[in-house]
Amino acid sequence: MHTLNNPRIIKTIVKATALAAAAALTLTTAACGLPSASIANQQSSGSAVKLRIGAQPYPLYSDVYVAKEEGYLNQELAKEKATASWDSFKSGPLVNEAVAGGNEDAGFMADLPAIIAKSTGQKISIVSNLAYGEKALAVLVPKNSTIHSVADLKGKKVGYAVGSYAEHLLALLLDKQGLGLSDVQSVNLSADDQVVALQSNSVDAIVIWEQYITKLKSEGAARVLADGTGIKRGNMVTYFTDDFASKHPAVVRAYIRAVQRGADLIASDPDKAANAVAKDFGVSPAELKEIWKNLTFTTKLGPADTKAITDVKDFAYKNGILKSDVNIGDLINTSYLQ
């Protein structure tokens, strides 16, 4: 009892208690996932950046997948002391939701959903092309269907992903026949659900992209009623949030470099490229190379691409697909390509 009155012992106990408390605080901070002082300093100085990518597992975006599988993406990001995370979604509208929710920094998709994102007020900008191809998107009907023209779709059930570029193709095709989306029974379905619906005769037609076109045709389950030939370029693009791009422009450029390396490999060594990514799309390397014949892969955004995207925007706004008009100069930012 009397030892507790000894000043030297009391001082020792106080010091030990303080050290224990500090250690406990450090452990608690680590357990809660909060950054230590050194990590916090790295993050604030911009030396540890994570790029969160919203992806879609379709051959339309093969150059991005080649960049990922061949290690180009990691290599180029590492030059800027950055890493990437990868989340898969079934359509562009779902990527938009993830970006709007603050869960992704970038997303790749077709032209229309990117435009829709901008029109709803999302602070994003298209920074590069990925691919384009008029035949990579099509209206399919069962092989033995009595529907033989787009005009025959009037009053029929048509499945497609609302807000995707498939909606735009359907609208364009109907418009050429003096019809509109209101003249068909639209059924909002994901790509996978469209296949099931077509095979079960729950819908009369679907508007879908590759790899599904090639697979359904090769299986003898469907035939192409119409595709985008002559009316829709079908641009695939990448957009970044303006916040991320303004803070980390070098990371945006690194991403673009990696994707272009992927596009270059598809052009120079399609066998190697197809073997690397066919599994990502659920097709064989041979099927993938056939699909690639309908696509041109490049990050370049030239005048023809800008015009095509502008045409999509104008048509979508005129037909009420967009909530508000979009300034194309605010949507497309080619400075990261230079």
- CA distances, 286 to each of 40, 210, 279, 281 (Å): 48, 14, 12, 12
Task: Report yes or no on 86 lying in a domain.
Answer: yes
* Assigned domain for 44 exists: no
Residue 48's pLDDT is 83
**Rounded distance, CA 229 to CA 133, Å?**
9
The verdict on 332 and 239 lying in the same domain is yes
Token reading at 210: 């590759």
pLDDT tens column, 227-271: 999 999 999 999 999 999 999 999 999 999 999 999 999 999 999
Question: Do 199 and 56 sit in the same domain of this protein?
Answer: no
**How would residue 98 be classed by pLDDT, with cut points 50, 70 and 90?**
very high
- Residue 204 maps to a domain: yes
Are 228 and 163 a contacting pair, CB within 8 Å? Answer: no
Closest CA relative to residue 139, chosen from 107, 108, 179, 109:
179
Residue partners of 123: CB distance under 8 A and separation at least 6: 241, 242, 243
Q: What is the pLDDT of residue 34?
A: 30
pLDDT at residue 85, rounded to an integer: 97
Q: pLDDT at position 338, please?
A: 85
Same-domain status, 264 and 322: yes
Report yes or no on 326 lying in a domain: yes
Q: Could you read off the pLDDT of 304-318 as tens digits, one per residue?
A: 999 999 999 999 999
Task: Please indicate, yes or no, whether residues 182 and 104 belong to a single structural domain of this protein.
Answer: no
Residue 142, CB half-sphere, CA atoms under 13 Å: how many? 13
Same domain, 173 and 204: yes
Statement to judge: residues 244 and 322 lie in one domain? yes
Same domain, 64 and 97: yes
Name the domain count of the chain: 3
Same-domain status, 240 and 223: no
Is 58 inside a domain boundary? Answer: yes
Give the CATH number, domain containing residue 80: 3.40.190.10
Residues 6+ apart with CB under 8 A from 107: 53, 54, 55, 92, 95, 96, 98, 99, 114, 238, 239
Could you tell me the CA-to-CA distances from 12 to 4, 7, 16, 22 in Å, in that order?
11, 9, 6, 16
pLDDT for residue 191 = 93
- Residues 123 and 241 reside in one and the same domain: yes
Reply yes or no on whether the pLDDT at 213 is more than 90.
Answer: yes
For residue 45, tell me if it sits in a domain: no
| Nearest-angstrom CA–CA distance, 328 and 97 | 21
**pLDDT tens-digit readout, 51-94:** 999 999 999 999 999 999 999 999 999 999 999 999 999 999 99
Q: Residue 320: CB partners within 8 Å, gap ≥ 6?
A: none
Which amino acid, one-letter code, is at 109? M
With beta carbons less than 8 A apart as the criterion, state whether 309 and 332 touch: yes
> Tokens for 154?
């009037």
Among 227, 252, 267, residue at a domain's last position: 227
Domain final residue, candidates 161, 192, 227: 227
pTM score over 0.85: no
Instruction: Say how far apart CA 290 and CA 214 lie, in whole Å.
Output: 8
CA 134 to chain centre: 19
Place of tokens 């095509």: 308
Mean pLDDT across 97-102: 98
Look up the domain containing 123 and give its range: 50-133+233-337
Same domain, 326 and 241: yes
**Which pLDDT belongs to residue 47?**
53
CB 130 within 8 A of CB 336: no
Inform me whether the pLDDT recorded for 23 exceeds 50: no
CA dihedral 111, 209, 169, 67 (to 10 degrees): 20
- Average pLDDT value for residue range 268-276: 98
Q: Mark whether 162 and 193 lie in a shared domain.
A: yes
Three-state SS for 178? coil
Q: 41 lies in a domain?
A: no
pLDDT at position 323 is 84
User: How confident is the prediction for the chain on average, in pLDDT?
Assistant: 88
Task: Tell me the average pLDDT across 262-290.
Answer: 97
Whole-number Å distance between alpha carbons of 231 and 80:
40
Structural domain includes residue 43: no
C-alpha distances in Å from residue 89, one per residue of 55, 97, 164, 274: 6, 10, 13, 21
- Any residues with CB less than 8 A from the CB of 96 and at least 6 apart, and which? 107, 109, 113, 116, 117, 120, 122, 163
Among 180, 201, 227, which residue terminates a domain?
227
Q: Using one digit for the tens of pLDDT, what is the confidence trace for 144-194?
A: 999 999 999 999 999 999 988 999 999 999 999 999 999 999 999 999 999
Q: How confident is the model at residue 319 (pLDDT cuts 50, 70, 90)?
A: confident
How many angstroms separate the CA atoms of 189 and 257, rounded? 34
167 and 126 assigned to the same domain? no
